[in-house]
Each structure stands twice: as C-alpha cells, then as structure tokens.
C-alpha cells in the first residue's frame, strides 16, 4: 500500500479547494436554509434535519449528535478512512496530483530535503516581512509615509495588512539576512535577492517600494508584492515563483476576507492589491485580488469554496474586460455564474472608484452589476 507524507501547506491548500457542499451532497440531500444548508444527519438516525453545512466557513455540524468538522473530517468519518486515505481521496476529487508526496523507496531523503528547503524559505520570507514592517515604522515621516497619507492609509490599516517599506538601497535587506544568519542562496531562492547572471553578486529585488505581504489561506506570508514609490519600473513587482510561492494558488487577502465573504455571502474579485486595500478602507472587506496574472482554475476553486456569488471588478479598459471575459469559462466550469461591476466611463479602476465617491455613491456604484455572461454577449453583439 502506498504511503504519503503531506506537508501542512498541502493540507491548507486542499482545504481551500474542496467544496464542502458538493462533497456532503454526495451523501446527504441538502436544502438551502439562509446562508447554510440543512439535511438529515448521516451519523445518527433522525426525522427532523439537524445537520447543517456552512459553505462560507467550510464546516459541518449536527445539533443532534454533536458531530462536526471540515470536509476532511466529514469524509474520514463517513467512509471510515485513515487520515492519509482521506487526503488522497479529496485531492483526487479536487484534481490535485499527490504523486510528489508518495513515500517511495529511497525518496525519504529527498522529502526531508524538500521539507528543509520549505522551512528555510519560510524563515527568509518571515525575516524580510519583519524587516519591511520595521523600515516602514522607521521611515514613516519620509516619502513612503507621505504616500500612505495621500492614499488615506492610516496606521491601523497598515498594521492590519502588514504593509512595509523596501528602502532605496541595493543591499539593505541583504545586510539584514547576514545579520540574521540567513544564507543568501536561500534568499535568492525565495525571490528576495537577485543574483546577477554570470557573477556571485547579489542584490535586493525590492527597492524604494511600498511592500505588501502575500499570504496563503492560513495567513502565512509566502511572498511579497511591491509598489514603486518613484519612477522605478515595473510599477508593481511580485515575488517570483518558488517552492512556497505559487501565484496560481494564491489570492491576495483571502485569509482576511473569508469572514466578510461568509457574512455577506458574496465576494468582489479585483486585479491588484491596491484595489483590494482601497476598497477595504471604504468598508468593503469581502474583496480578494489576483496577483497581476490571469485568473487560474485554482483561484476560482478557492473563491467558490466560500461563495458562489462573485462580482468580477477589473480595470475599466480593454485589457480589464478581456481578463473578465477569460474568467467566465473558468467560473462556469465549476457552476458559478459571476456578475461584473460596471464602472462609469471616467473611472479607470476600483482604486479610483473607492477614492472618488462618498459612501452612498460607492454603494450605488458597487450595486451597478450585470451577469458577466450577458455583458459578454452585449459586447460581442455590439
């Protein structure tokens, strides 16, 4: 029998991609009841439904017998599986390849090496995050502080989002890694330092930028995004792919937005972290953002776990509309029919909308939606 070794990040990713309503519906006839679903408990005999599934939180609970948990716990109990067997079944259901986690003969050393590499990368990223936040605190009266004030980002919001500052220097972070005894090669692998081709010279990737930590669904910082404060290009810069940073599987601020998505039963999907932050500052906290790349199947699955009511809210230009149209088949493939927020002609993106309207105007603008499929047909027909 094949055995497996699943790291914590695999399990967190799996939880984010399993639709608990779809899973439970394979065993229980569920009916919608407000924000939840109800049915007869499969774990004890009853005639009146006391078994509840909360889609937004990804959990189930029976008020009759007290059994509850997440999708992993449900499948493990109802099929009487071992924990690893349960993970394999759910991964297969979610289309996740588990072969890299098999304990093959002679592979234990390789698995231990990968585990050690992930730990080292996480340590480097955590060190950088701590450095960036300290730099923001120490330079709050400088250019970065002026930028935050101009954008209406108060200290409380900066702390909540873990914002930071990368100094305009080639080796500020590199020197911090040396002080913390973190090997530069690990920082290069984490995408925090760049090694100049053909040389041993390494320098800071992020310079003179407002820094945004990018977290996985559990809240662990796995990468960074930076907005240029000067004339540096590109305007926005993300960490490159690494063993712990996979943009296809990440949505900016999902770990913060989950409670609000569950409470409202809906989510806004925007293109960048400034869009998400600007909307949050105006009280719209059920919002997540892509990381400057095309929406992926994994992104859609992550959103669907918490809600089926999604409003695509991309930039008001040809590129933004094209990105919205490309998202349509991805959503439809998982049974979600998204809406699109229709921006006024003179508004270029959600960031500008959030900063340019009062509360009543913003509420009205956000409610100006139509089915994305209908919008697609109207644009093609026009």
Which residue, 250, 206, 245, 248, is CA-closest to 228? 206
For CATH 3.40.1360.10, the residue range(s) in the chain are 249-381
What is the Cα–Cα distance from 342 to 127, expressed in whole angstroms? 41
Question: For residue 251, which phi and psi values (nearest 5 degrees)?
Answer: -125, 130
> In CATH, which of 1.10.150.50, 3.40.109.10, 3.90.580.10, 3.40.190.10 is domain 8-101?
3.90.580.10
Q: Could you tell me the mean pLDDT of each successive run of 10 residues in the chain, 382 residues long?
A: 80 89 92 92 91 92 94 93 92 86 67 84 98 97 94 91 97 98 97 92 97 92 94 89 91 91 91 93 95 85 88 94 94 93 93 92 95 92 60
Q: For the residues of 290-312, what is the DSSP string, one character each? A: --SS---HHHHHHHHHH-S-EEE
Residue 1 pLDDT: 55
Contact 57, 67 (CB under 8 A): no
| Domain topology for 116-241 | DNA primase DNAg catalytic core, N-terminal domain (3.90.980)
Structure tokens at 17: 């991609």
Sheet holding 51-54, edge to edge: 31-33, 36-39, 51-54, 59-62, 68-70
Residue reference for tokens 């008001």 = 316
Structure tokens at 291: 């990381």
For CATH 3.90.580.10, the residue range(s) in the chain are 8-101
Structure tokens at 274: 């400034």
Residues paired with residue 269 on neighbouring β-strands, in sequence order: 288, 312
Question: To 5 degrees, how large is the angle CA 183–CA 184–CA 188?
Answer: 125
SS3 for 48? coil
Residue 323 pLDDT: 93
Q: What does CATH list as the number for 249-381?
A: 3.40.1360.10
Between the alpha carbon of residue 299 and those of residues 94, 247, 305, the distances in Å are 13, 9, 10
What is the Cα–Cα distance from 174 to 182, expressed in whole angstroms? 9
For CATH 3.90.980.10, the residue range(s) in the chain are 116-241
Which residue, 365, 380, 381, is CA-closest to 311? 365
Residue 187: count of CB within 10 angstroms of its CB: 27
Residue 294 pLDDT: 81
Buried b / exposed e across 273-303, counting CB within 10 Å, b at 16+? bbbbbbbbbbebbbbbbbbeeebbebbbbbb
């Amino acid at each position: 029998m094949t055995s497996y070794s699943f790291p914590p990040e695999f399990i967190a990713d799996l939880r984010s991609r399993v639709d608990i309503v779809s899973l439970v519906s394979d065993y229980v006839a569920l009916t919608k009841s407000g924000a939840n679903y109800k049915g007869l408990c499969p774990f004890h005999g009853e005639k009146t439904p006391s078994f509840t599934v909360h889609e937004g939180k990804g959990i189930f609970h029976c008020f009759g017998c007290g059994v509850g948990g997440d999708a992993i716990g449900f499948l493990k109990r109802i099929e009487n599986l071992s924990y690893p067997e349960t993970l394999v079944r759910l991964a297969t259901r979610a289309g996740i390849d588990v072969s890299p986690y098999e304990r093959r003969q002679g592979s234990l050393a390789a698995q231990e090496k990968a585990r050690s590499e992930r730990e080292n990368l996480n340590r480097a990223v955590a060190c950088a995050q701590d450095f960036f936040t300290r730099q923001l605190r120490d330079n709050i009266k400088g250019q970065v502080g002026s930028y935050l004030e101009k954008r209406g980002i108060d200290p409380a919001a900066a702390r909540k989002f873990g914002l930071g500052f990368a100094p305009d220097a080639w080796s500020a972070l590199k020197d911090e890694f040396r002080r913390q005894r973190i090997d530069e090669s690990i920082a290069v692998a984490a995408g925090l330092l760049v090694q100049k081709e053909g040389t041993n010279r390494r320098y800071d990737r992020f310079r003179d930028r407002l820094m945004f930590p990018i977290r996985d669904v559990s809240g662990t910082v796995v990468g960074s995004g930076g907005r240029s404060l000067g004339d540096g290009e590109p305007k926005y810069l993300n960490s490159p792919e690494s063993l712990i940073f996979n943009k296809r599987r990440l949505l900016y601020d999902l770990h913060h937005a989950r409670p609000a998505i569950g409470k409202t039963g809906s989510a806004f999907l925007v293109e960048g972290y400034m869009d998400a932050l600007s909307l949050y500052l105006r009280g719209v906290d059920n919002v997540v953002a892509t990381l400057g790349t095309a929406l992926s199947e994994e992104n859609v699955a992550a959103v669907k776990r918490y809600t089926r009511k999604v409003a695509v809210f991309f930039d008001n230009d040809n590129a933004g509309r094209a990105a919205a149209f490309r998202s349509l088949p991805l959503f439809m493939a998982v049974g979600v029919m998204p809406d699109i927020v229709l921006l006024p002609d003179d508004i270029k993106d959600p960031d500008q909308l959030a900063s340019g309207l009062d509360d009543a105007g913003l509420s009205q603008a956000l409610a100006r939606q139509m089915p994305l499929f209908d919008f697609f047909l109207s644009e093609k027909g026009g």
